[in-house]
């Protein structure tokens, strides 16, 4: 099986791809400063929709549409693309959402970062299906690359600026518990943990 380039250079900083048949395929964000959600059609064409100054992450919603991490919180997109931005989680213009994904129970997690990567300025938030939001981790530098193990019992979280990957135990009732270091790159390493 070979690789095939589907489009030319079309985005500023494309990341966070998510495939969902209800969308008709693949969506991803043109995050950092573009604030757009990109949809890839079967013919290779792209459709760009602006959702705000930042589009950090996009994932499908069970009832259709999407949940999106935007600059200072979350937005819900309906199947007809109507966008509802939820209440801002913070006011500091130096902090923005960065990356997110869903847990095995359908809750959306998105982590933040300070533009200047200030120590401890960022947090990890969870948006529950009924709309409540909880801060689940604070004192982070750059929350990046959250992912669950195949059996759903562990969560891996990258704090890119500290060169550290943490692992947590996970269950529906307790959420993320028992944080410990999974891997740590040497300070100044040319590699990154994202």
- Residues serving a catalytic function are 187
Distance CA 124, CA 135 (A): 6
Contact 127, 85 (CB under 8 A): no
Q: Tell me the three-class secondary structure of 4-19, residue by residue.
A: CCCCCCCCCCEEEEEE
Helix (H, G, I), strand (E, B) or coil at 22: helix
SS3 23: helix
> Would you list the DSSP string of 88-145?
PS---TTEEEEEEEE-TTS-EEEEEEETT--TT-EEEEEE-TTS-EEEEEEEESBEEE
Sheet of 66-70, strand order = 55-60, 66-70, 73-77, 83-85
What's the Cα-to-Cα distance from 162 to each of 113, 139, 165, 190, rounded to whole Å? 12, 12, 9, 13
CA-to-CA distance for 137 and 84, rounded, in angstroms? 25
């Amino acid at each position: 099986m070979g690789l095939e380039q589907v489009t030319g250079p079309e985005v500023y900083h494309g990341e966070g791809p998510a495939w969902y048949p209800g969308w008709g395929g693949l969506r991803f964000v043109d995050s950092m400063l573009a604030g757009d959600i990109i949809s890839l059609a079967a013919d290779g064409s792209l459709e760009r929709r602006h959702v705000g100054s930042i589009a950090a992450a996009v994932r499908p919603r069970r009832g259709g549409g999407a949940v999106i991490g935007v600059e200072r919180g979350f937005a819900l997109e309906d199947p007809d693309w109507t966008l509802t931005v939820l209440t801002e989680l913070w006011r500091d213009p130096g902090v923005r959402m960065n990356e997110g994904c869903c847990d095995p129970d359908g809750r959306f997690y998105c982590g933040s970062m300070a533009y200047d990567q200030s120590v401890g300025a960022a947090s990890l938030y969870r948006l529950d299906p009924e709309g409540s939001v909880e801060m689940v981790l604070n004192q982070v530098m750059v929350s990046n690359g959250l992912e669950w193990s195949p059996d759903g019992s562990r969560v891996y979280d990258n704090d890119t600026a500290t060169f550290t990957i943490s692992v947590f135990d996970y269950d529906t009732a307790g959420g993320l518990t028992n944080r410990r270091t999974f891997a740590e790159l040497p300070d100044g390493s040319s590699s990154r943990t994202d």
